Amino acid sequence: MKSLTLVLPLVAMSVLLSSCDNGGESTGGEPKTEPVKGAQSVSEAIFGQMPDGADAKIFTLANANGMEAKITEYGAILVSLTTPDKNGTLADVTHGYDTLEGWLTNTSYFGATVGRFGNRIADGKFTLDGKEYTLATNNDPGGIPCHLHGGIKGFDKVLWKGESFEGEGARGVNLTYVSPDGEEGYPGTLTTVVTYTLTDKNELIWEARATSDAPTVLNVVHHSYWNLSGDATTSINDHELTLYAEHYLPTDAGLIPTGQVASVAETPMDFRSAHVIGERVEAAFEALKLGAGYDHAWVLSGEKDGELNKAARLKDPETGRVMTISTNQPAIQFYGGNFLDGTVTGKGGVVYEHRTALCLETENYPDAPNNPEAPSAVLRAGETYYHKMVHAFSAE
Ligand code: GLA
C-alpha cells in the first residue's frame, strides 16, 4: 500500500469569519483589484448558484507578496492564481471562467479537484476483493471507451463545503465532500477533505485526505491548467519543462498504460533536463502520436525535495515565472492541452486555443486498479488516503 499514508486528524484551525479586512478585495467573479502588498487576508463571498439554488462560495486567499488564489466550493476548483513575474507584475496563470456558470456548463476540468479516480480506468471496470465494479465510460480516446476523472458527475461537479482558516505565514480553505456509497459506481461512503493553502513563501499547497467506511479505490487529483506567461492567448509550447522522471508509462490507443515502464532515454519523453515543450512535441514517436502530443504519466524517480518527491519544474522564459511541483505521489501526468481547440471561451472572453495551457497532475498510475505493477489504489476502512502537492512560485 505504497500510496497510502496514515495522517493525524486535521489540526484545529481558527476560522476567520469573513471580515474582509483587505479593503481592495473583490468578491465573486468580479475583476480583481490589485491587492495591497503585505495585506495578507482570507475572505469569502458568493460565487453563484447551483441549479438547485444552493449558493457556491468563493474564497480569496492573499499572501504577503500580493499573490492571490481564488477557490470555489463548486468542484473544489482553483478559480484563479496570480503570481509575480521577474518585474513583480502579477498576473493570473490559470485557465478558467469568470463566473460559476462557465464551470457549470463546460467540462474541461479547469482548476478542478477530480475524483474519485482521477485519470482513466480501462473499460470503466475494476475488481476489488473478488467483486467486479462497473463505472461510467465517459471518454473514448482513439474510439476506445474508458472511465475518466470520476465519471459523469465526479468531484469536479459537486458542491463541497468550504471553511477558511489562518495559520502561521499561511491561509487557506478546507473543502469537504461526502460521496455516498455507490456514487458513480464506486463502493464505500467516502469522506474527502481538500485543503488549499497559500503561504507567504509563494507556495500553493493542495492536499487531499479521504476515509471510507468500506474498501474502495481512489486517486484524487488537482487539475489546474497553467500558462505562466499570464497571457492565455499564447502557446505553452514555448515553456521549458523539467520532469524528475527516468521512466514513463506507454499507453495503448485508448490512453491506458500497457503495463510497460519505459525509459525516457533517447526519446522525446526525456525531460530530465529542461526542454522547450514545442521542441519535440511533433516528433514521429509512437507515444506522441497516440496522445496527440504529450498526455502521459511519468514515474517519479524519487529525487527528494524535503520529504516529497520532486515532480516538475516549469518556466516561461519570457516573463521568467517558474513553478516547481513536489508531491508524495508516485507519478505525474503531463497533459499538453492537446484537446483545447478554440471552442471554449474563458476568462476575459479569451478563446482557449490549442496548447494554450498545460496540466501537471501528480497522482497514482492511470488505471492503477487494473495494473498489478502499480502502487495500490485501494483504501480500506480505518485508513486515511493522503495526497500532497506543493506548487512553489518564483521568477528569474
Ligand atoms: C487529463 C487527461 C487528458 C484529458 C484532460 C481533460 O489530463 O490526461 O487526456 O482528458 O484530462 O481534457
Per residue of the chain (396 residues), give pLDDT as tens: 333 333 333 333 333 323 333 333 333 344 444 444 568 999 999 999 999 999 999 999 999 999 999 999 999 999 999 999 999 999 999 999 999 999 999 888 999 999 999 999 999 999 999 999 999 999 999 999 999 999 999 999 999 999 999 999 999 999 999 999 999 999 999 999 999 999 999 999 999 999 999 999 999 999 999 999 999 999 999 999 999 999 999 999 999 999 999 999 999 999 999 999 999 999 999 999 999 999 999 999 999 999 999 999 999 999 999 999 999 999 999 999 999 999 999 999 999 999 999 999 999 999 999 999 999 999 999 999 999 999 999 999
Asked if residue 197 has its Cβ within 6 Å of ligand 1, the reply is: no
Cell numbers 514517436 correspond to 285
Select from 108, 109, 120, 361 the residue to mutate for testing ligand 1; criterion: most ligand atoms less than 8 Å from CB: 109
Q: In this structure, what C-alpha cell is assigned to residue 82?
A: 496570480
Select from 224, 295, 298, 334 the residue to mutate for testing ligand 1; criterion: most ligand atoms less than 8 Å from CB: 295
- Over residues 188-240, the pLDDT tens digits come to 999 999 999 999 999 999 999 999 999 999 999 999 999 999 999 999 999 99
Residue 336 Cα to ligand 1 midpoint, Å, equals: 9
Asked if residue 225 has its Cβ within 6 Å of ligand 1, the reply is: no
Residue 24 Cα to ligand 1 midpoint, Å, equals: 36
The set of residues, in sequence order, having a beta carbon less than 8 Å from that of 153 and lying 6+ positions away, is 184
Question: If you take atom 10 of ligand 1, which residue's CA is the nearest one?
Answer: 148
Global confidence as pTM:
0.91
Asked if residue 339 has its Cβ within 6 Å of ligand 1, the reply is: yes
**Catalytic residue list:** 223, 361
Residue 387 Cα to ligand 1 midpoint, Å, equals: 19
Closest-lying ligand 1 atom to the alpha carbon of residue 139: 10
Residue 35 Cα to ligand 1 midpoint, Å, equals: 33
Question: If you take atom 9 of ligand 1, which residue's CA is the nearest one?
Answer: 295
Q: How many CB atoms lie within 10 A of CB 185?
A: 18
- Over residues 132-151, the pLDDT tens digits come to 999 999 999 999 999 999 99
At 279 the three-state DSSP class reads: helix
Asked if residue 359 has its Cβ within 6 Å of ligand 1, the reply is: yes
Residue 19 Cα to ligand 1 midpoint, Å, equals: 38
Asked if residue 165 has its Cβ within 6 Å of ligand 1, the reply is: no
Residue 255 Cα to ligand 1 midpoint, Å, equals: 10
Domains of the chain listed by start with CATH number? 5-395 (2.70.98.10)
Q: Report the phi/psi class of residue 366: left, alpha or beta, with left for phi > 0 and alpha for psi in -120 to 50.
A: beta
Q: DSSP of 42-95, one letter per residue?
A: EEEEEEEE-TTS-EEEEEEEE-TTS-EEEEETBTTEEEEEEEE-TT--EEE-B-
At 186 the three-state DSSP class reads: coil
Backbone angles phi, psi at 183, to 5 degrees: -60, 130
Closest-lying ligand 1 atom to the alpha carbon of residue 109: 6
